[in-house]
Structure 1
């Protein structure tokens, strides 16, 4: 690999922080599309993400410290250290921290998904540059569409009607050079 390859692709873990949500993600293994992606997340009290689905990969969550809350296809789960559950491809899921203490967990993405990795890196970079709202959503529509497109994240319920708009915004982010500029800035 050449010297411009991101550190975690050269075998060194990469840790990113989100100053808005007070979370950290360490990429323990990044993929070339063949292997799974493995990240360790330290989630602040009250943190989490909205319900969503992915059509390209499954996510296996393993609690390492504290209690990890999961919604998975209508079920409410609480994982303790060492417990694991998989959100299959297409399942509606979300993770969250139901406690007043940080929770640490690992997520294995299978098959590995470079877009998930890059999207998360860009999202945290945008947050640290004050370009997201307090819930961590990118303020610029092209950035939001790009995140959705890169990470294969699809909205559910009534908001699912916005998925074609997110796809179009992701496409616009690519053709206008927005994706290239954001990746050059954040995924070094």
Structure 2
């Protein structure tokens, strides 16, 4: 909560600096008056423009650091920037004596820097990764013949878009929690013990709309080694912080690889990007990225030993 409040204050401060900077560029006399001093420049506003540009830079910097979630860099920038409003305060008060009407604004800027900066530095970066508690158990592998049977945990918010597979059917069985499953345009609310079969080429999705973890058993028939690899790689990426909060790989080539290995075919508007995803995935395979991911996340299961991608799409 403290970090969020500091971010809001910093963002609003950045917006304020952008306004002040623009005012010095487009209305230098009024901006000078609000600053708290009055000088006779003989209509030469060069220094006003210089200040305007510097305020614009400061505002852009604060806004970008907030949007990029660069907590530590934002804190250091604020602390370093303390000299600016402090100098402004001393200039205004030194020139006009007791002009607190204008001096108070600069003093407030000083307080923002010396309070928000240290507070941000003291906040600990969140290291809790919910995917560290998520498991994927490969109960039966296609490497041993027969279907692929696995059990996995789906975190709240875990979902897929509408898609279909051409190489296998899927059977979902909810063991714990709740899960919304879509099949051919219809939605089904599954509870523990409920099952649903998705035939090959049937469009489907799943979505954990609940606030709890859903434990799901999935049966792939016929079994598919690449599907198993895709699941293990995705979970490994998530545990290493290489996915976003929804479990989607941050690296586009890893996302393309997952979709390719998973034999997922897009529907609707997303069908347009399918050739691009396939192309990127093939490049990632050829460049050795798949081998790296297999070594990192499939080694304990032995699935990395099951050769190159040879199945038909």
Among 144, 161, 167, the alignment partner of 2:272 is 161
1:22–1:43 Cα contact (<8 Å) kept: no
Aligned length: 171
Which structure: greater strand fraction? Answer: 1
Aligned to 1:53: 164
Q: Which moved more, 1:33-42 or 1:82-91?
A: 33-42
| Distance change in 2, residues 1:47/1:142 (3 Å) | closer
* Bigger relative CO (Cα 8 Å, ≥ 6 apart): 1
- What secondary structure is seen at the aligned counterpart in 2 of 1:28? strand
Question: 5+ residue gaps in structure 1?
Answer: 1-17
| Distance change in 2, residues 1:90/1:33 (3 Å) | farther
Which structure: greater helix fraction? Answer: 2
The Cα of 1:110 is off from its aligned counterpart by 0.6
2:164–2:200 Cα contact (<8 Å) kept: yes
Alignment of 1:90-101 (within 5 A): 90-101=201-212
CA–CA distance in structure 2, aligned partners of residues 50 and 100 of structure 1: 20
Q: Which structure has the bigger radius of gyration?
A: 2
CA–CA distance in structure 2, aligned partners of residues 40 and 87 of structure 1: 17
What does the per-residue CA deviation read over 1:32-69, in whole Å, with 9 as the maximum and x for residues that have no partner? 27410111122223322222211111110112223221
The Cα of 1:20 is off from its aligned counterpart by 4.7
Aligned to 2:143: 32
Question: 5+ residue gaps in structure 2?
Answer: 1-128, 300-313
2:158–2:247 Cα contact (<8 Å) kept: no
| Distance change in 2, residues 1:39/1:25 (3 Å) | same
Alignment of 1:64-103 (within 5 A): 64-103=175-214
TM-score by length of 1: 0.83
Q: Which moved more, 1:70-79 or 1:97-106?
A: 97-106
Q: Which moved more, 1:20-29 or 1:104-113?
A: 20-29
Among 234, 255, 260, the alignment partner of 1:149 is 260
CA–CA distance in structure 2, aligned partners of residues 63 and 25 of structure 1: 14
- What secondary structure is seen at the aligned counterpart in 2 of 1:61? strand
Q: Which moved more, 1:106-115 or 1:94-103?
A: 94-103
Q: Which moved more, 1:131-140 or 1:57-66?
A: 131-140
The Cα of 1:131 is off from its aligned counterpart by 1.7
CA–CA distance in structure 2, aligned partners of residues 138 and 50 of structure 1: 15
CA–CA distance in structure 2, aligned partners of residues 70 and 138 of structure 1: 22
CA–CA distance in structure 2, aligned partners of residues 82 and 166 of structure 1: 36
Aligned to 1:7: none
